[in-house]
Amino acid sequence: MKILIAASEAAPIIKLGGLGDVVGSLPKALEKLGVNVAVVIPYFPTAVVAGLKVYKSLDLLVPFNGESHKVGVYATKLPHSFVDVFLLKNDDFFSTVGKTASLGIRSEVEVFSFFARAVVELIKTKFNTYDLVHCNDWHTGLIAQLLQDELGLERPATVMTIHNFSYQGIGDARTINEVGLDPSVHQMVAWDIADGDVNMLMQGIASADFVTTVSPTYAKELLASTDEGKIFDVLCARKDRFIGILNGIDYDAFPRPLDIMTYQVAKESAKQSLLTKLNMTKDDAPIFSMISRLDPNQKGLDILIDAIPEIVSRRGRFILLGSGNVEWEEKFKALSVKYSSTNISINTVFDPELAKQIYTASDFFVIPSKFEPCGLTQMISMWYGAVPVAHSVGGLRDTIAHGKTGFLFDDYSAGALVRALDRCFAIYKSQVHSDMIEACLKVNFSFDKSALAYKALYEKAIQLRQDAFVAED
């Protein structure tokens, strides 16, 4: 079984968001199962290749918007594995993005339409030897449609994974002509662009053999959504080919200085060190933390900012690490000034080492997301013995056992969050708290489980594709 995973990022070579963590981890877990897997991503200028052996494999000539563009194919290995990574280099298209997570603005839609065309040309150049192409998020939404156009009955099977339904890659309809698709022979494409826009994610959902998302509950939430729009109609029409597979984490990326025998001493030591580093009051108060990008549409910032004063009033400490929306960065900084930086530490930076210190030192970890497709921070916090407190949605609901490995709240409100936080104060340093920490430390969310589910899905998709080939031949 030969698999090609296409995405906009793969950590640690390119990491813009959670997608990069998944694409950097899943192939290694698949490799352990004997799957022949490779990854293809754009060669952005921000790619971190120091210490890697990178060599130029070949040049592609990629047709786009009536012209032929040269794309260099560079090859390396995913660190700590034998997984091939193909980096596609073209300065005209890939030099202006890749610094932040791609949200689907019009210029990016053109860039990733070109990327989709380049991936298809790569597959053709490699003599169409892949059994399946696994596409990820809107950036790869046109690949399945292009493969059908270019290779017909002989195309590989395809899987499309939705990592965050909010980002759909909506761009000008002319993109369809630029990439070489003819709306007159594609009913779904014609229907999509009738309003003047193309929805890249919707095209991927409509044309892939199977569609997945990153947790079972998020899949149910999407199908049960009362929102209206073409993309919901398409997703519901494909519900028999739509499943949720829970993401995992690569524990090798998160070495921890504690285990079930040493966590009490290790966490107390880490707490005092962190309080000193952040110039916070050193006492026995519980530490609540949150590590997240500051996205007011998703991450629950509006209810969190009302709950933080309640933490302080109960003699708790709160630490935030994350950047994003500048307006919300300033709101949290103002809160720290009002209630003293000795009680509230706001760190609007990207600092992986500080993140690990915070995870290790924290007693409780707050995740008030309005929605959360899967979430990784709750898995990481449990790994470090910080009990999560989270809104009961998406992957948070699938990974946190209420009352055993964390606390969940149902209503999206500051009041509901505060009531969950009160449960934390009630158990702090009790036997119940110790039992919850130990339960967290024992939980296993490695990508090995996710890889088994994906391997089974790949086999199913490939078999259905082979059956269709025989039937149509």
Residue 191: what residue type?
Answer: W
Ramachandran region, residue 411 (left: φ > 0; alpha: ψ -120 to 50; beta: rest):
beta
Between CA 91 and CA 72 the distance in angstroms is 10
- Per-residue pLDDT, averaged over 326-331, amounts to 98
In what helix (H) or strand (E) does residue 44 lie, and over which residues does it extend?
none
What CATH code is assigned to 251-444?
A: 3.40.50.2000
- Per-residue pLDDT, averaged over 290-300, amounts to 96
Choice between 139 and 228, residue whose per-residue pLDDT is larger: 139
CA quadruple 128, 137, 108, 229: dihedral positive or negative?
Answer: positive
Choice between 393 and 101, residue whose per-residue pLDDT is larger: 393
The pair of structure tokens assigned to 10 is 């793969």
- Could you report the per-residue pLDDT of 174-219, keeping only the tens digit for each? 999 999 999 988 899 999 999 999 999 999 999 999 999 999 999 9
- Could you report the per-residue pLDDT of 35-48, keeping only the tens digit for each? 999 999 999 999 99
Q: 161 in helix, strand or coil?
A: strand
Tell me the pLDDT of the chain averaged across its residues: 95
Alpha-carbon torsion, ordered 85, 91, 94, 98, to 10 deg: 90
- Could you report the per-residue pLDDT of 252-291, keeping only the tens digit for each? 889 999 999 999 999 999 999 999 999 999 999 999 999 9
- Could you report the per-residue pLDDT of 351-384, keeping only the tens digit for each? 989 999 999 999 999 999 999 999 999 999 999 9
Asked if 2-248+448-472 and 251-444 have one fold, the answer is yes
Closest CA to 249 of 18, 9, 439, 6: 18
Using the predicted structure, report yes or no on whether residue 472 has a pLDDT greater than 70: no
The pLDDT value recorded for residue 226 is: 83
- Per-residue pLDDT, averaged over 18-40, amounts to 96
The answer to whether 369 touches 393, Cβ cutoff 8 Å, is yes
The pair of structure tokens assigned to 341 is 């930086």
The pLDDT value recorded for residue 17 is: 85
- Angle at the Cα of 372 from the Cα atoms of 370 and 373, rounded to 5 degrees: 145
Using the predicted structure, report yes or no on whether residue 16 has a pLDDT greater than 70: yes
Ranges 95-99, 281-285, 427-431, 435-439: which has the least confidence: 95-99
2-248+448-472 is a CATH 3.40.50.2000 domain: yes
Task: Enumerate the domain spans of the chain.
Answer: 2-248+448-472, 251-444
Closest CA to 3 of 156, 125, 205: 156
Between CA 131 and CA 146 the distance in angstroms is 16
DSSP one-letter code for 366: E
Closest CA to 25 of 251, 241, 323, 180: 251
A 10 A CB-CB count for 233 gives 12
The answer to whether 195 touches 225, Cβ cutoff 8 Å, is no
- Give me the residue label for tokens 């739509």: 242
Q: How confident is the model at residue 467 (pLDDT cuts 50, 70, 90)?
A: confident
Query: Which residues on neighbouring strands pair with residue 407, listed in sequence order?
Result: 389
- Could you report the per-residue pLDDT of 85-131, keeping only the tens digit for each? 999 999 999 987 756 655 555 489 999 999 999 999 999 998 789 99
Between CA 38 and CA 4 the distance in angstroms is 5
The answer to whether 318 touches 361, Cβ cutoff 8 Å, is no
Using the predicted structure, report yes or no on whether residue 469 has a pLDDT greater than 90: no
Closest CA to 290 of 312, 316, 321: 321
Task: Give the CA distances from residue 198 to residues 48, 63, 149, 204, in Å, rounded to whole numbers and listed in that order.
Answer: 32, 20, 18, 11
- On whether 299 is known to bind a ligand per the annotation, the reply is no
Q: How confident is the model at residue 157 (pLDDT cuts 50, 70, 90)?
A: very high
Whole-number percent of the chain with pLDDT over 70: 98
Between CA 473 and CA 469 the distance in angstroms is 6
Between CA 418 and CA 303 the distance in angstroms is 9
